[in-house]
């Protein structure tokens, strides 16, 4: 039981902690800019993240989808192709963000923005060919290191700058904080939700519930630590392309290089999961996994040219909006189905 719980927890966390999360950019944009309200709404994030992920498992047990094509058909009927397009857009944006993020770090530590993305594309391709077992192996190895390192950096930043509480760059808009929190939940559960529904029948109800609690608590603690660190950091750090790496600059070069590696770990775990979903879809009609991989990364590489910061700022919210539509639509569909069964 413990092995299943940890494997499932690491899968969800690994899918969630991508380039935006591991670099601190997502946390700065969706929570950090709201200061103490960011901490307050991180608790709401915890509740919603648990609720929807647990719901996805229950829906997965009922629907037993092989891929998101089955989910689209359930939600939209004859208009399922619209749902497929929306899902693909979300996952392509995620893959694009991971590639662009890895390019930024590659350029920073190797003075070449192509090396790391190429290596990651190769690793991801080999992992996807092995299927869900390959994804679980990657997450089981890397997620614990990733979580510990982010928490340590945020705590270290707080203790080093504990005398410098900064409010000048904080937005106290409570409505904005609420909308931002809901958007962040929806953009993250859409990827984890699809994966969860596809593997739901491999786990017991108890294992699922414990895993959902663990992932919600761990991610919320990271968000809270990050927001506190941002409160004691400059506006330049908060607004930078990769805030966590900007924090590392106040320490030493070795630590900067180490955390660059940690950020890459976060990028890889999400890249594998998101690319897997896109490849599964393309493979449903191409019937060739290698062609599906090529198409996935070709589209993502072209989109990555707009830059990591712009992807997080302008494209990620699109996935949030689609995520809201997805969650509301799926929930209402199951409610209608339940009512029909009761009649």
Q: Find out whether 272 and 149 touch, Cβ atoms under 8 Å.
A: no
Q: Which residues lie closer than 8 Å to 265 by C-beta, 6 or more apart?
A: 22, 142, 145, 146
Task: Give residue-wise pLDDT tens across range 27-62.
Answer: 988 998 888 888 899 999 999 999 989 988 888 888
| Spatial distance between the Cα atoms of 56 and 62, rounded to a whole number of angstroms | 10
Q: Does the structure show a pLDDT above 90 at 285?
A: no
Q: Find out whether 284 and 147 touch, Cβ atoms under 8 Å.
A: no
| Spatial distance between the Cα atoms of 83 and 73, rounded to a whole number of angstroms | 8
Percent of the residues in the chain that have a pLDDT greater than 90, as a whole number: 30
Task: Give residue-wise pLDDT tens across range 203-215.
Answer: 888 998 999 999 9
Percent of the residues in the chain that have a pLDDT greater than 70, as a whole number: 94
| Spatial distance between the Cα atoms of 283 and 241, rounded to a whole number of angstroms | 34
Task: Give residue-wise pLDDT tens across range 84-98.
Answer: 888 889 889 989 999
Confidence at residue 215, expressed as pLDDT on a 0 to 100 scale: 95
Task: Give residue-wise pLDDT tens across range 258-280.
Answer: 998 988 888 888 898 889 989 98
- Structural domains of the chain, with CATH: 2-335 (1.20.1740.10)
* pTM of structure: 0.83
C-alpha angle with apex 12: 54 to 241, nearest 5 degrees? 125
Task: Give residue-wise pLDDT tens across range 136-170.
Answer: 888 888 889 999 999 999 888 887 765 555 554 56
Q: Find out whether 180 and 187 touch, Cβ atoms under 8 Å.
A: no
Instruction: Spell out a b/e string for 263-289, using b for 16 or more CB atoms within 10 Å of the CB, else e.
Output: bbbbbbbbbbbbbbbbbbbbbeeeeeb
């Amino acid at each position: 039981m413990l092995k299943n719980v940890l494997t499932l927890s690491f899968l969800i966390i690994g899918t969630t902690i991508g380039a935006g999360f591991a670099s601190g950019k997502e946390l700065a944009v969706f929570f950090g800019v709201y200061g103490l309200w960011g901490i307050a709404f991180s608790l709401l994030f915890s509740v919603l993240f648990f609720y929807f992920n647990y719901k996805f498992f229950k829906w997965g047990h009922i629907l037993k989808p092989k891929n998101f094509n089955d989910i689209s058909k359930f939600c939209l009927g004859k208009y399922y192709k619209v749902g497929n397009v929306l899902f693909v857009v979300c996952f392509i944006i995620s893959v694009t963000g991971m590639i662009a993020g890895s390019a930024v770090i590659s350029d920073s530590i190797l003075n070449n923005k192509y090396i790391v993305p190429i290596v990651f594309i190769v690793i991801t391709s080999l992992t996807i060919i092995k299927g869900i077992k390959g994804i679980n192996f990657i997450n089981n190895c890397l997620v614990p290191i990733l979580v510990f390192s982010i928490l340590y950096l945020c705590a270290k930043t707080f203790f080093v700058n504990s005398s410098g509480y900064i409010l000048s760059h904080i937005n106290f808009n409570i409505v904005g904080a609420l909308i931002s929190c809901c958007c962040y939940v929806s953009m993250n559960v859409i990827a984890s939700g699809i994966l969860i529904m596809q593997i739901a029948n491999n786990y017991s109800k108890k294992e699922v519930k414990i895993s959902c609690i663990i992932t919600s608590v761990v991610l919320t603690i990271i968000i809270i630590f990050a927001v506190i660190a941002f409160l004691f950091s400059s506006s330049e750090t908060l607004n930078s392309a990769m805030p966590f790496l900007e924090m590392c600059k106040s320490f030493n070069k070795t630590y900067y290089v180490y955390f660059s590696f940690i950020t890459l770990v976060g990028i890889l775990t999400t890249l594998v999961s998101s690319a897997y979903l896109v490849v599964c879809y393309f493979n449903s009609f191409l019937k060739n996994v290698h062609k599906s991989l090529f198409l996935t990364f070709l589209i993502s590489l072209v989109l990555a040219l707009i830059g990591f910061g712009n992807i997080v700022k302008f494209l990620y919210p699109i996935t949030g909006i689609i995520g809201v539509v997805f969650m509301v639509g799926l929930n209402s569909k199951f409610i209608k189905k339940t009512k029909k069964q009761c009649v």
